[in-house]
Copies of this chain bind each other. A is one copy, B any other.
Amino acid sequence: MINRLIENIKKTNAPIVAGLDPMMKFVPEYIKQEAFAQHGETLEGAAEAVWQYNKGIVDAICDLVPAVKPQAAMYEQFGVPGMAVFKRTVDYCKEKGLVVIGDIKRGDIGSTSEAYAVGHLGRVTVGSRSYSAFDEDFVTVNPYLGSDGVKPFMKVCEQEKKGIFVLVKTSNPSSGELQDRMVDGKPLYELVGELVAQWSAECMPGSGGYSYVGAVVGATYPEQGKLLRQVMPRSFILVPGYGAQGGKGADLVHFFNEDGLGAIINSSRGIIAAYQQEQYAHFGERGYADAARAAVLAMREDISRALAH
């Protein structure tokens, strides 16, 4: 799957992942009203609104981006109907040829991580049969429990040719509270980066190149990104925090390797809620999907320009 991600990036010439984080405040009024007319102001109605909103965006940008990243929390908040739309979104994006990164940030003790890995990337056994429950291509994983929380995901990655991105240095303001603490003269995130580098080396596709095990490093911390790029040479870096959280194209250069690969930059509200920004307001609410397309084109341009320097 890491090779499919790389193919898709080369085909689109855009190391961009669109974050499908459908907060209700981003969903245009007319979509909500149609969904509520059908299902009432219920969890089902909210889920239907999210689905219609997602579908519009995916249809508008699927030829421009290699991958999407649905954020599980935004679906889970609407309970079981929300999780059904998470699954429907995953399936639809895959039909459209997109690589799907489930932003689930799971991580637990070994036997429990195994259940998450099986449920999101692998196949779960039921009697004499087996099923893919959510079936994303990649998921994000939290490393706080150490390697026995991560290895069950690696095992499923090797079996199914899928991938993970391990949280190393997250994009949020308080990420430093633990991640920047100094351990033996190095910040904790560097130590986690070294673990990721080990796991990466153990989990390579036959063809070499990049590992099934990648990392999450926030665009908001470019200096740390530069260091971590060196520490984890075979890991793709998923970079959140571009746009709304403050990261800029010029900050991103050092997240890439010299082959022009090795990083994929996420933007969520900057794409999916572009119509709510001044610069794209002329698209109007009904043009939200076209606004998303315009925002992707601008982001591609911004990143290309930065990488050309």
Q: Does A182 contact B (CB under 8 A)?
A: yes
The residue of chain B having its C-beta at the shortest distance from the C-beta of A145 within the complex is: B170
B45 touches A127 (CB 8 A): yes
B127 touches A175 (CB 8 A): no
A interface residue count range (under 10 / 10 to 19 / 20 to 34 / 35 or more) = 35 or more
- Give min CB distance, A169 to chain B, whole Å: 10
Proximity string of chain A (226-265) to chain B, C-beta cutoff 8 Å, 1 when within and 0 when not: 0000000000000000000000000000000000000000
Give A207 to B206 CA distance when docked, in angstroms. 61
A108 touches B73 (CB 8 A): yes
- Hey, which chain B residues are within 8 Å of A45, CB to CB? 126-127
B42 touches A126 (CB 8 A): yes
B41 touches A128 (CB 8 A): yes
Choose one: B84, B119, B125, B128; the contact of A76 (CB below 8 Å).
B119
Q: Which of A196-245 contact B (CB under 8 A)?
A: none
Give A24 to B23 CA distance when docked, in angstroms. 35
Choose one: B134, B142, B170; the contact of A79 (CB below 8 Å).
B134
Which of A8-16, A109-117, A291-299 lies at the interface? A109-117
B173 touches A73 (CB 8 A): no
Q: Does A306 contact B (CB under 8 A)?
A: no
Residues of chain A having any CB pair with chain B under 8 Å: 21, 23-24, 32, 36, 41-43, 45-46, 71, 73-74, 76-80, 82-84, 87, 105-113, 115-116, 118-120, 124-129, 131, 133-134, 142-149, 167, 170-179, 181-184, 188, 191-192, 195
19 examples of A-B residue contacts, CB within 8 angstroms: A42-B126, A42-B129, A43-B131, A71-B108, A73-B106, A73-B115, A73-B119, A74-B112, A74-B115, A76-B119, A78-B124, A105-B106, A105-B107, A142-B144, A143-B178, A144-B178, A145-B167, A148-B173, A178-B192
